[in-house]
Structure 1
Amino acid sequence: MKREQMLPVEKQALENLLKHAQGDTHQSRRVADFLLAWWNPSACGKYDLTTGWGVDDDIMEDMCVVFRLASRAHSYPDSLGYEKEFEAIVREWRPELLQGRED
């Protein structure tokens, strides 16, 4: 799947979550954990569904839409054209994964 094949609601929800994940709140961390579990679950950890208890309803709705997107797309988010955005989240929330890669 390519970015242009995403439904408008999917694209908007993913972009909303990407913005939230770039913040520095508890909700930002929860959103980042959710997104990174899709990007690379073996390196970033799995997503505990109870983590969703700590986000607002609008964020949770976007998470539900993105969960459907991830299931429908059969691909990782970087293959949808969001590689730079996800790398920024990794730099913010999992910088240890980049050690040795940014030389």
Structure 2
Amino acid sequence: MDRGPFSKTAARNALDRLIEIARSDTGQARRVANFLLAWWNGEDCGHFPIADLFGVDPTIATHITTIVGFLGQHEGAIYPDAFDRKAEMIELVHRWRDFETD
């Protein structure tokens, strides 16, 4: 079943909220974007310093840990594409990073 704090539905809801936050222009938005882009492609987009969790409010930290919990329950790699969020991720790359994507 798709229930519980680390279900795909919970992860999708957390991702949607994090994308919304990353589209804004705050210090928390930058930290959220760092998390999402590290998940998307850490090698090219940079990594997420765990200490960045200290700079977000508890609700945002819960959204991040929901995604991490979901990812930890599955074998193999799962990226935002699994949630049909490729366009949004490319938008965030353009907003927060200074290079082109396909």
TM-score between the two structures when normalised by the length of structure 2: 0.83
Partner of 1:87: helix, strand, or coil?
Answer: helix
Contact 2:11 2:67 in 1 (8 A): yes
Give 1:89's match in structure 2, choosing from 92, 96, 101.
92
Q: Name whichever structure is richer in helix by fraction.
A: 1
Corresponding position of 1:7: 8
Shift of 1:62: 0.3
Other-structure match for 1:80: 83
Q: Distance in 1 between matches of 2:68 and 2:20?
A: 17
Count of residues paired in the alignment: 94
Alignment of 1:46-57 (within 5 A): 46-57=47-58
Cα distance in 1 between the residues matched to 2:70 and 2:99 = 25
User: Root-mean-square deviation (CA), in Å?
Assistant: 1.6
Whether contact under 8 Å (2:22, 2:32) holds in the other structure is yes
| Deviation sequence 1:54-94 (CA, Å, 0-9, x none) | 00000000000011233345222124311011011111101
Larger relative contact order (CA 8 Å, sep ≥ 6): 1
One-letter code of the match for 2:23?
Answer: Q
Structure 1 residue aligned with 2:30 = 29
CA distance in 1, matches of 2:9, 2:22: 20
Normalised to the residue count of structure 1, the TM-score between the two structures is 0.82
- 5+ residue gaps, structure 2, are 1-6
| Structure 1, unpaired ranges of 5+ | 1-5
Identify the residue that residue 71 of structure 2 maps to in structure 1.
Answer: 70
Q: Deviations over 1:16-69 (max 9, x none)?
A: 001000000000000000010000010111111001110000000000001123
